[in-house]
């Protein structure tokens, strides 16, 4: 990743097709577009790729999570369990619906710890959102068992793990609803975009209507469409869908490159006794978009990151000090820094963040380094990178 590294003729042809038609909106203008429907085509490709009954394109991964939760009826006062290690969009999507994000510890998969999830379930819990961070997955069987036991939704935020699988199923297709991001730095990109996939027809119809102001999309006259319920504008454009349509057809190509580069670096680092790798549940196959490994302690991880920088090794992240992906630095959430008044229900529901600590999560994130796997590297560049990384880690451990 990311897919933009290999932009070429396929992407250009799809975009030019939209520009030549003159129709950039995904709905309406039937006469002008001469049968060109990029968003519809991409949705068909996504259904085929992920082997699901339904796919709905939206404007971003954040929109995908928001729409998925709304489509399943999550709203005011409901609690949604999410991991401490995620992207800020996870709690943003929950809060915009008036629901309450309940953050719990991760385990060595870097995803939700099922024990922490079980302990966090209350009568207000409506959903468990497993965030498949950095190309891999949580303990899906255990999480599904908890959801079945308590009659909870299992929502997959697979925005960073497109192409990964668990027991032969694509991540995103396992839960009640799955969410993807196609932003500029994802394995396949639309520039900006996202999607919700599901096998539940009711949820799909809800996503279709809700993401376009509640339009029912019946008939050929957009102005005559009815609105079965309230909705908002989370539409994708035909230009963005056109880029994604070219990219999704190249997903097998991208995944093969990622796996090759990932495997080379992993093999070199596996020779270092102090390096251990994230746990991938049995039956799981990473997308190989990132290589995640643990060092013995925070001090060594900090030294390694400084050594990487000195060696010119970019694209590696130590999330312990990251503002976007780990709760430790989310002061704007903890202190509810909002432009508008937050409901008393949500404010009270988030009161736990004032005092709660996440020592188990800290123990993993403090030691974890996550390295982006690029598509554009030559084999020579990958081997040199692996050698430099190994030297930097060894020096940091002494």
> Which CATH number does the domain housing residue 350 bear?
3.90.1150.10
Range of the domain at 87: 3-250
pLDDT at position 34: 87
Alpha carbons 216 and 322: distance in angstroms, whole number: 42
CB atoms within 10 A of CB 199: 15
Residues 236 and 298 in one domain: no
Last residue in a domain, options 225, 250, 275? 250
Residues 174 and 289 in one domain: no
Alpha carbons 174 and 154: distance in angstroms, whole number: 9
Residues 80 and 164 in one domain: yes
Residues 147 and 29 in one domain: yes
8 A C-beta contact, residue 146 and residue 152 = yes
pLDDT at position 39: 98
CA dist 14 → 170, 189, 237, 239, 251 (Å): 26, 13, 13, 8, 16
Residues 210 and 222 in one domain: yes
Q: Which residues contact 90 (CB under 8 A, 6 or more apart)?
A: 65, 82, 83, 101, 129, 131, 157
Last residue in a domain, options 207, 233, 250? 250
Residues 299 and 233 in one domain: no
pLDDT at position 44: 98
Residues of the chain with pLDDT under 70: none
CATH number at residue 18: 3.40.640.10
Alpha carbons 132 and 86: distance in angstroms, whole number: 8
Residues 294 and 177 in one domain: no
φ and ψ at residue 126, rounded to 5 degrees = -115, -30
Alpha carbons 191 and 60: distance in angstroms, whole number: 9
Residues 51 and 199 in one domain: yes
Last residue in a domain, options 250, 268, 298? 250
Alpha carbons 194 and 207: distance in angstroms, whole number: 12
Residues 54 and 194 in one domain: yes
pLDDT at position 231: 98
**Number of domains the chain is built from:** 2
Among residues 208, 130, 210, which one has the least CA distance to residue 176?
Answer: 130
φ and ψ at residue 326, rounded to 5 degrees = -140, 140
pLDDT at position 106: 98
Residues 258 and 177 in one domain: no
| Burial of residue 272 (number of CB atoms within 10 Å: 0-12, 13-18, 19+) | middle
| 109: its two tokens | 């998969």
Residues 304 and 384 in one domain: yes
Residues 331 and 274 in one domain: yes
pLDDT at position 77: 96
pLDDT at position 376: 97
């Amino acid at each position: 990743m990311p897919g933009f590294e290999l932009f070429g003729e396929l992407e250009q042809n799809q975009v030019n097709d939209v520009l030549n038609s003159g129709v950039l909106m995904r709905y309406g203008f039937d006469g002008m577009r001469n049968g060109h429907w990029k968003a519809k085509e991409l949705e068909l490709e996504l259904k085929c790729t992920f082997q699901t009954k339904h796919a709905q394109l939206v404007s971003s991964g954040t929109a995908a999570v928001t729409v998925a939760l709304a489509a399943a009826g999550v709203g005011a006062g409901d609690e949604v369990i999410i991991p401490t290690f995620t992207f800020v969009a996870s709690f943003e999507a929950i809060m915009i619906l008036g629901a309450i994000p309940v953050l719990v510890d991760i385990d060595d998969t870097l995803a939700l710890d099922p024990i922490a999830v079980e302990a966090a379930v209350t009568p207000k819990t409506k959903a468990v959102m497993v965030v498949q961070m950095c190309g891999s997955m949580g303990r899906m069987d255990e999480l599904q068992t908890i959801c079945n036991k308590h009659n909870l939704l299992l929502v997959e935020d697979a925005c960073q793990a497109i192409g990964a699988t668990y027991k032969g199923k694509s991540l995103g297709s396992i839960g009640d609803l799955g969410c993807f991001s196609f932003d500029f730095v994802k394995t396949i990109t639309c520039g900006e975009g996202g999607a919700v996939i599901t096998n539940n027809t009711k949820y799909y119809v809800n996503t279709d209507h809700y993401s376009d102001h509640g339009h029912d999309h019946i008939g050929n006259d957009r102005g005559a469409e009815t609105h079965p319920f309230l909705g908002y504008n989370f539409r994708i454009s035909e230009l963005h869908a056109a880029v994604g349509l070219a990219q999704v057809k190249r997903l097998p190509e991208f995944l093969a490159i990622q796996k090759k580069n990932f495997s080379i670096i992993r093999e070199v680092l596996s020779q270092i006794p102090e390096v251990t790798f994230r746990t991938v549940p049995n039956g799981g196959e990473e997308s190989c978009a990132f290589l995640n490994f643990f060092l013995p302690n925070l001090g060594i991880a900090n030294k390694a990151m400084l050594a990487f920088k000195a060696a010119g090794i970019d694209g590696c992240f130590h999330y312990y000090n990251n503002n976007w992906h780990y709760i430790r630095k989310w002061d704007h959430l903890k202190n509810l820094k909002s432009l508008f008044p937050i409901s008393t229900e949500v404010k009270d529901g988030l009161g736990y963040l004032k005092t709660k600590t996440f020592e188990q999560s800290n123990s993993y994130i403090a030691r974890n380094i996550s390295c982006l796997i690029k598509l554009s590297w030559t084999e020579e560049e990958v081997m040199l990178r692996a050698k430099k990384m190994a030297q930097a880690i060894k020096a940091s451990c002494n």
